[in-house]
Amino acid sequence: MIEAVGLTKRYGDKTAVHNLSFQVRPGAVTGFLGPNGSGKSTTMRMILGLDNPTAGHVTISGHPYRQLPNAPRHVGALLDAKAVHGGRSARNHLLSLAQLSGIPARRVDEVLGVVGLQEVAGKRSKGFSLGMGQRLGIAAALLGDPQVLLFDEPVNGLDPEGILWVRNLMKALAAEGRTVFVSSHLMSEMALTADHLIVIGRGQLLADMSVTDFISANSADFARVRTPGTEPQAREKLTSALTEAGGHVMPEQDGALRVTGLPLPRISDIAHEAGVRLWELSPHQASLEEAYMRMTQGVVDYRSTDDQKAGLHQVPPPGAGPAVPVPGQGQPGWYAPPPPQQGGPLFAPPPGPYGAPQPNPYAQPAPQGQGPGQPAAAPVTADRTEPEDPR
């Protein structure tokens, strides 16, 4: 499990992440959403110990990444698939990572098979397409068979078959009880892949809830009702009847009616009682993309001037916080992390050789009072990137 408590990161006078608290639980795919420049990559780098927070802290199963013994065996990450030595073959790239972390060479061929690169394992990575590079980065993240996985835009550059493969891979990893944290801008994929969402804007938490609750909290469900086009008086009659019953009716451009405040069976009964024929009576629920756009419209930093001229969005004043309240706060499903506990045991070193049956290290903490052990010296398996531009 990943837990951030009061996480803050400043670059000079620019605050990239401000007082961010959330949990990423095992057994589910958690989507990490937010506009460009919202602080997603900075947050992921702080989780992996690549950037130090200005305030607050983030832990993996209760302990900072740098205190995990042989961290690549516990945590795998894909941050930048392009950060690979172009002169190395795919196999040699993974082999070098495996040797640094004490992982047997046989695991390299296993993950190459998992990501579908076994036929090009001997080719230099500089000749790889963007999609092949993504697969190699995912292979590096899976190399240590970790319980916690972080992916930043994992489907970037992949074809439809590759996107479907990544989607199924994420679900399969979560089904095994692993913690899967995925950052993406593809709302359609998040709707199909994620179970839970963490949404941030301008470095602050906007939502922490299930996908279903997020859509419900940021959209208004309605019913589409259509009467025969040759009977305008029936449309007016139905509008009056629905309004009298407590519904709210709005005409749509195509001649249909948008009805809120009444369930579909009740609308059908009212139409029958009024003697009005219906050509359409269908429910409408907003997509994740619609709900996300509504949630984040006040925290977008980069916006076309055409949008402003058309009145599509209102630009918040400089220095203003999120323009919308945090949906679900104080309601069931809302998570407020408890204050951090001081001390606590570190992970027990993973027993047995790699690949041998062994207890889950996350379920086998060291006894209270045990010494801290040695901090992890192995580098992160994630491809490293340059520090994120806080803008």
At 37 the pLDDT is 87
3-state DSSP percent of the chain in helix, strand and coil, to 5: 30, 20, 45
Note the pLDDT of residue 324: 39
Q: Are 369 and 123 in contact (CB under 8 A)?
A: no
What is the pTM (predicted TM-score) of this model? Answer: 0.69
In contact, 388 and 14? CB cutoff 8 Å: no
pLDDT for position 316? 43
Rounded Cα distance, 92 and 83, in Å: 14
- Whole-Å CA distances, 242 to 221, 269, 282, 334, 369: 16, 10, 15, 35, 69
Position 246 scores a pLDDT of: 93
pLDDT tens string, the chain, 391 residues long: the values are 999 999 999 999 999 999 999 999 999 999 999 988 899 999 999 999 999 999 999 999 889 999 998 888 899 999 987 778 888 899 999 999 999 889 999 999 999 999 999 999 899 988 898 889 999 999 999 999 999 999 999 998 888 999 999 999 999 999 999 999 999 888 888 999 999 999 999 899 999 999 988 887 777 778 999 999 878 889 999 999 999 999 999 998 888 999 988 999 999 999 999 999 999 999 887 778 888 887 787 777 666 666 554 454 444 444 444 433 444 444 444 433 333 333 333 333 333 333 344 444 333 444 444 444 444 434 444 444 444 444 4
| CB contact at 8 A, 270 and 277 | no
pLDDT, position 127? 87
d(CA 305, CA 368): 59
